[in-house]
Structure 1
Amino acid sequence: MAVIVASTREGRFGPTVAAWFAGEARGRSDLEVDVVDLADEETVTGRLGLADAFAVVTPEYNHSYPAPLKAVIDAHHSEWHAKPVGFVSYGGLSGGLRAVEHLRPVFAELHAVTVRDTVSFHGGRYCFGSDGLPTDPSECGAAAGRLLDRLAWWGTTLREARETRPYVTA
């Protein structure tokens, strides 16, 4: 599973959220985790192609998602086909959920399967302590567990399906 850090802004908070979520995922035996930071553009392409599932860690900028994320999504096609995408969002009052809702139809157009369950941090930075961990880990930990369950199931199921019968988009 690729955990994608969508923000590339200076002073961004995404790496903190991504590190926490990746830690939750690494605690499982059914997932291998690769954190793909969009600020490091040179390594993105090959790493996306290797993933069987994606977790996009995104802020909400101006009621939507960051432009660098859109550029990476649009620059790749087959990397997304018949693979699940989950979302971990953060932001102000909406917790990044408007960004997530804008991403769902974009990924649908690329033949990806978005999962219903999300992890959302309303107030972003205020939800984490100075140690980089959530101040109330029970609720977000439970949400992360549900999201990871879905991504693991869909990722395995769709990988097996692609191996049995290649996915056709034309």
Structure 2
Amino acid sequence: MKQEELDIILENHGKWLRSEGGERADLSNANLSNANLSNANLSDTNLSDTNLSYANLSYANLSYANLSNANLSNADLSNANLSYANLSDADLNWVNWQQVKGLTVICIQVDTTRKNNQIAYIKELHVWTTGCFQGKLYKLKASIEKTHKHNEKLKKRYYRVIDFILKEVAE
């Protein structure tokens, strides 16, 4: 989708949000990869099944947005508001989670063989992400055991980070 077309949709959505006419944005199934949506008000927008990979969503208002099945891999969600957003089955791998609002996200850098490897836990979704993995804790542990079965040092690092995150969430 071209930026000009997206800008018109967002302008009409803003009018709809302010009860000034316009219409609610429906960007479901759209290809918005690499789109610049920083500071955009996407509150209550339908973004299901949308490709938002590498999109700049910093400072965007995504409260109440439907992001189910959306591809958010490598998206910048820093300072975005995700309060009450539907993120079910969204691809959240390699997301920039700095200062995200509306979700409890704990993201820790892990010293591994890969550059910039991180483990992120999204408390409200009970979802863990690291590298190209996304899922529940028991699946993360199984993946660690399988991937690093011959490297006790790396396995211990991952488990220390997981234990730290679980302690932080419990507080």
Using structure 1 for the length normalisation, give the TM-score: 0.27
Of Structure 1 and Structure 2, which has the larger fraction of its residues in helix?
1
- The higher relative CO (CA closer than 8 Å, separation ≥ 6) is in 1
Whichever structure has more strand as a proportion of its residues is: 1
* Higher alpha-carbon Rg: 2
Q: TM-score, normalised by structure 2?
A: 0.26
